Structure 1
């Protein structure tokens, strides 16, 4: 129930009935409610279960990872992806691991258990997706809510890219990694993903800057 109004409006425009879970339980509450509804009436619902569906990371293994190597090739030194369902990070990382040269793969996640980066998971305090393999990332990089939100603003204002907060978190993590490399006198080519649109998150709370995390 705590998703943005624009997101609710977009969903209802497709003729859907919205069923709300407890907003204090976040996405985990929604997962539990969906599982309950499906268990009670399996013939009524189709449950894609992107947190457990192997097609999720497989799409990125066959698609995203291949596309990155085709476009960037041997220049890429690091890959950064935030953890939500973890499909992007898992599938792409597996594909990049097969490259003939070492590519450092970093998973970003919300810094706080109670956070405002919608769609992302703080793994230690959340239902862990079955498709998530904690041994795959070379590093877990924490990103604060403010860093993700502020970066999405910056990308719109300075780059003309209207992306959402999870994309902001990805870029914030990639930039933090780049600064760390620079501080050590190293160079690199860091690739990340802009995975969502800004229009899903428009809300007065955002623009008034009164949010507290």
Structure 2
């Protein structure tokens, strides 16, 4: 374990940056840089999941659902696991994380660094097998475990509705016209979508995106297009105005395009959130490269797809999520040649 000390005050109020995606419409495109939640944590900082980890643990403790001596357990593809492990451990709980054995190395190391026990599941069995393994562990000793359950816990979308939506609305001076986010648990798109719909009186268009096929390599996202896959209770499609489908190749291409675009140019900071510019500049890049995670590339691809379909107009204000930083993926094809 590293000597990193979790500081929960760094969660929320993340920076908003302006990005050039080379689209036809004269629209402003912004992105929330979510690794600034717990930005100085080892193995890539925090992620968008830092928000819900805090929200779910806070809620459980306030309701008395989580008590001292209980082990916190959660199935995850990586980011939720590391963030729950970090926050639960600093609060004094033992943690066990169930994850597929092909999870990105940076995510695995982040979980290990937090001191959590990991149960690996053969990735070839699909993600539903990860959830089933977690349920089996709990069933063997129900009183010993507390599962935050990111797939059913209303504190997941509720946290985004209270925080992410407000941050985006205020940082864009209320001018956001499109919000784009990927679907994993559905918490980000559902909660932020609800919040922005309320704040803009329905003016903001809410766009969710999924991988275009079941076998994909866009970490954290779920293929839900057909009904034979686990559907999270935290995902409410009625909030969405449209759903886009993104290929792994397009997600990776857009992530690499961002790296190339900002190799020599600074990434413009539209709103610093709670951070000073020096901190943002220090943690925005890795090895002086602007590298983002796979789902962030997917978000950029979804925005480009909207533009290509003629869905964006001059003067629009589009916001999507940079869910995590690219150094969590240094061991996969996306960034293994660069980091």
Provide the TM-score with structure 1 as the length reference. 0.88
Relative contact order, CA 8 A, sep 6+: which one is greater? 2
State the aligned residue count: 208
Quick check: 1:172 aligned with 2:272? Answer: no
On the 8 A contact 1:65/1:92 being kept in 2, the answer is yes
Describe the superposition over 1:77-128 as per-residue Cα deviations: whole angstroms up to 9, x where unpaired. Answer: 1111110111100001101111235111110100111111111011125211
On the 8 A contact 2:293/2:324 being kept in 1, the answer is yes
On the 8 A contact 2:165/2:192 being kept in 1, the answer is yes
On the 8 A contact 1:107/1:140 being kept in 2, the answer is yes
When you count strand as a share of all residues, which structure comes out higher? 2
Residue 14 to residue 62, structure 1, CA distance change in 2 (3 Å): same
Residue 101 to residue 48, structure 1, CA distance change in 2 (3 Å): closer
CA–CA distance in structure 2, aligned partners of residues 169 and 154 of structure 1: 12
CA–CA distance in structure 2, aligned partners of residues 157 and 108 of structure 1: 24
How well do the aligned residues superpose, as a CA RMSD in angstroms?
Answer: 2.1
Quick check: 1:116 aligned with 2:116? Answer: no
When you count helix as a share of all residues, which structure comes out higher? 1
Describe the superposition over 1:138-196 as per-residue Cα deviations: whole angstroms up to 9, x where unpaired. Answer: 111000011112222222332353210011111110122123337x8655211111111
What 5-or-longer segments of structure 2 have no aligned partner?
Answer: 1-100, 263-288
Quick check: 1:104 aligned with 2:198? Answer: no
CA–CA distance in structure 2, aligned partners of residues 3 and 38 of structure 1: 22
Q: Which residue of structure 2 aligns with residue 193 of structure 1? A: 321
Q: Which residue of structure 2 aligns with residue 155 of structure 1? A: 258
Q: Secondary structure at the match of 1:168?
A: helix
Q: What does 1:11-26 align with in structure 2 at a 5 Å threshold?
A: 11-26=111-126
Point out 4+ residue stretches in structure 1 off by more than 3 angstroms: 184-187, 204-209
CA–CA distance in structure 2, aligned partners of residues 115 and 167 of structure 1: 15
Quick check: 1:54 aligned with 2:154? Answer: yes
Residue 204 to residue 61, structure 1, CA distance change in 2 (3 Å): closer
Residue 5 to residue 101, structure 1, CA distance change in 2 (3 Å): closer
Residue 26 to residue 150, structure 1, CA distance change in 2 (3 Å): farther
On the 8 A contact 1:79/1:106 being kept in 2, the answer is yes
Quick check: 1:134 aligned with 2:237? Answer: yes
CA–CA distance in structure 2, aligned partners of residues 14 and 147 of structure 1: 33
CA–CA distance in structure 1, aligned partners of residues 127 and 102 of structure 2: 10
On the 8 A contact 2:326/2:335 being kept in 1, the answer is no
What 5-or-longer segments of structure 1 have no aligned partner?
Answer: none
